[in-house]
Every structure is written in C-alpha cells, then in structure tokens.
Amino acid sequence: MSSFVIQGGARLEGEHTVQGAKNSALPILAAAVAARGECVLHGCPDLSDVRATLTILESLGCAVRRQGGALVVDSSCLCRCEIPERLMREMRSSIVFLGPLLSAMGCANLSAPGGCDIGERPIDLHLETMRALGVRVIEENGRLRCDARAGLRGARCSLHFPSVGATENLMIAASTAKGVTVLTNAAREPEIADLAAFLNACGAKIYGAGEGALVVEGVERLHGAEHTVIPDRITAVTFLTAAALTGGEILLRGARPSHMDAMLSVLEQSGCRLCRPGGDTLYLRMQGRPRRLPTIRTMPYPGFPTDAQALFMVLAALAEGASIITETIFENRFRHVAQLRRMGAFIRVEGRVAVVEGRRFLQGARVEACDLRAGAALVLAGLAAEGETRVRKIEHVDRGCEHFEGDLALLGANIVREEDDLGQEDEEA
Ligand code: EPZ
C-alpha cells in the first residue's frame, strides 16, 4: 500500500488541465461491447478503474490497445458473456456491463459489483429495468444469470430513484431492443448525455438524454464509432477547492463550467472570486478564510453532487462560522468525518446531517482514505493544515484522480507518494 505525505501551508497557484470524466469513460468503455466493431475513445483518464475495465473487456474477448492518447476497443471477437467475480468486485461500474452484454450476446453472467464502501449500493433498479425489457434474471449464490436469447423488447419503465447506473444499463440494452423504450425519472447527470452521444454515434436512436425522460428507438445493431469523453466535473472542482483552501489561484483549462453550476455557486458564496472567461476555462482566486457555506444538501443532478460532499466539508471545516451538510444519496458517506476530526475539525453528525463548526486551522495528522472522494478531500485538508499529514490507502484516490500528486505539486503543493513499509503495523490511522 502507499501513502501521500503532505507538508501543509503552500499556496497553490497556476494552471491545470481537467482530466476526462471517469464516470463517463467507464460506461462508454463498457458500452463498446454492444458496438460490434472498433471504437476509438479519446480523453479516457489513466486510472485504476479504467485499467480494470480494460481487463474486463479483454476477458470477454475484446481487443484493446492504446493509439496515441486514445483507447481503441474492438469487440468484433467478443466471445464470452461471463465476468469473473474477482473482476466484478474491482469497482461499482462493472455492473454497467450488464446492458452491453445483453445487447451483444443475449446473455450476461455477473456477480454483485464492488466499488467505494459508501453504502449498500443495491442493483434492484438495474434488474427491474432489464426484466421490463424481457430479460430472465436468476439470482443465486451471489451470481446473476441473465438471459435475453428470446431478444430484448422495448418497454415503458420508470425509476423510483434516478439511478445513474440503472439509466446507463437501460439506455445501452434498449438501443438494440425491438421497439421503443421510454424511461421516466431517468438520471440527468452530464455523463448520461455523454453516453447517449456515444451510443448515437454508434447508430443508436436515443432522445432526451439528460432531461429526465428518455426515449430509445431500438435499432438492428450498433457499429463502431469515435468519441471524446467530457471533462471530469468532480476532479475539476477538486482542484478549484484545493486552490480555495490554500488562499491561492488557479486557471482551469478543458473544463465544462455548465456541468458545475451547483458547486461553483457554493464556492462563490464561500468567498471565492470566480471568473468564467468563456469556453472551457475557469479562473478562481481566494483571499483569506472561507465564509461559512450555504446549507448543502446532496441531490441528483443538477443538484449538488454527492461526489463533491467530502471536498466541501473540508472547506466548511476552515470557514468562519458553522455550515450544514446533508448527504441524501448514500447512507454511509460521512466516513471522512472521523479522519477530519483527527486533524482538529469540529464536526457533529446526526444521521445524514453534519454540522461543521469552522476552525481557523487544521493540524496535520495520520489519516486514512476510506473511499475515492474522501481520500481526495483528506489530501486537500493536508494541503491546508499546519504541519505534516500522511494519507494512507491512497489506492482509493488512484481510482479516480489521474496524476494527482504530480498535478498538485506543479501548482506548488508539497506532496510526495511513499510506499508504506511492509512491516508497518496496520495501526489505526
Ligand atoms: C454513480 O454511481 C457514480 N459512479 C458515483 O460516483 C456517483 O456518486 C453516483 O452515480 C451518484 O451520482 C459511477 O458512475 C461509476 P446510483 P451509481 O445508481 O450508478 C441507490 C465516484 O466517486 N440505488 O445513482 O452506483 C443507491 O443505493 C462514484 O465517482 C438503488 O437503490 O449511483 C444510491 O443510494 C461514487 N438501487 C442511489 O441509488 C439501484 O439499483 C444512487 O445510486 C441502484 C442505485
């Protein structure tokens, strides 16, 4: 295992180019299975979750190669519809191979996905929509055997919660179903529209992606396509917040500000000066201590994203006054609170509500990443804290933040990656 060792206090300033969106690249790579032929994908970030997805693609018989900065996936030799448990457990988004395999092979033999331990993360909505399309689902001994050899048929579905992954699986499977599929209360995240754009480039007929109600007219088959994934709105705001926490300034390039409105509004209300010169750039400058944050309540897009909750809790921990953060999406997404308390943060949690009393300083400490976004938040806390912070288990951070310590160091951060001593006790961080 490895850790980040951070000497706090450096003011971040400079430019940063935003990586491609992890939560767009992962479903699009899976969807390439349904596009019989070669897909060329630009902007896929170099992350452990992306590498895990490529391993699954190859295990299914797809050919994968890098071509310059692009990933090329050729599914013409797809020959398997079974994904071994050890690969399924690598990450949550492995479940989004369900729709592509049913579309391409008429079968899928999977197990429960892995992913960040931020809640129970059931897959009932995925299975409900697949059954609506005519899929026979047998759940036994933790495995899922799904059969659609009789063919997928269009259906009317509604999600009781706008699940991102369930919307993605349905869009992909419905693309080659016989007839029309209508999905209401669909997820509206920008990554949904990006996946629809990729599928439509492959010949699908998907309408209304990102607007809450989806219509998919099934087509005979999908062909290969070329696509560039959208910028990652969460890592973009991670770097903005890093500059804000250190009283610095940053120019983001390759961003999509229109995907970040809810988060940018909170940054401005906390005292950050934000300029949107237009196009894909964003400039942030922060002087002095953040003001208390407006009440944050995580919501499905376009509300405040749950993936930014931990980042903004760090900002609140250093703000003047008390801030209230409510996590409505995942039931176990406050695990960074105990770690921030080790750094001197004053946070009270009642169920899904955290009350954060801002402090003038945080102290460096030994802390532990418990999921991707919490790990990134702890790194940011270390940048702003006095003294040294060691963040352990940073493999969580490597799942979603590309070249994280290198890019932060280019902005002036004092951060290095260290391998933990093998004999080191796995002491409570
Ligand atoms: C996606 O996860 C993202 N992951 C998550 O980002 C993100 O936090 C989440 O959407 C919400 O925006 C990827 O795209 C790979 P959901 P997903 O299905 O699809 C419940 C990150 O850090 N639910 O929208 O798993 C579920 O329990 C990750 O990048 C069901 O009840 O999210 C949760 O409470 C973390 N039944 C809520 O819906 C289901 O069948 C949201 O889940 C599916 C979901």
Q: Please report the pLDDT score of residue 277 as a whole number.
A: 87
With contact defined as beta carbons under 8 Å apart, do 30 and 381 qualify?
no
d(CA 400, CA 115): 12
242-272 pLDDT, tens per residue?
999 999 999 999 999 999 999 999 999 999 9
DSSP secondary structure string, 270-298? TT-EEEEEETTEEEEE--SSPBPPPPEEB
- pLDDT of res. 428: 46
Q: What is the C-alpha to C-alpha distance for residues 268 and 251, in angstroms, rounded to an integer?
A: 15
Q: Is the CB of 21 under 6 A from ligand 1?
A: no
Give the model confidence (pLDDT) of 174-222 as tens digits.
999 999 999 999 999 999 999 999 999 999 999 999 998 999 999 999 9
Atom of ligand 1 at shortest range from CA of 128: 40
DSSP-derived letter for residue 94 is: G
- What distance in Å separates the CA atoms of residue 372 and residue 186, rounded to the nearest whole number? 25
Per-residue model confidence (pLDDT) at position 116:
67
**Dihedral sign of CA atoms 120, 124, 130, 133 in order:** negative
**pLDDT recorded at residue 429:** 45
Amino acid at 222: L
Mean pLDDT, residues 162-178: 98
Q: Which atom of ligand 1 is nearest to the CA of 187?
A: 24
User: 161 is written with which tokens?
Assistant: 């919660």
Strand partners, 331: none
What's the whole-number mean pLDDT along residues 311-332? 97
What confidence score (pLDDT) does residue 27 get? 98
Q: For ligand 1, atom 7, which residue shows the shortest CA distance? A: 307
Structure tokens of 376? 């990134």
Q: What pLDDT is recorded for position 308?
A: 98
Which residues are known to be catalytic?
116
Q: Which DSSP symbol is given to 21?
A: P
Q: Strand 414-419 to strand 273-278: parallel, antiparallel, or no bridges (unpaired)?
A: unpaired
Distance between CA atoms of 315 and 381, rounded to whole angstroms?
Answer: 8
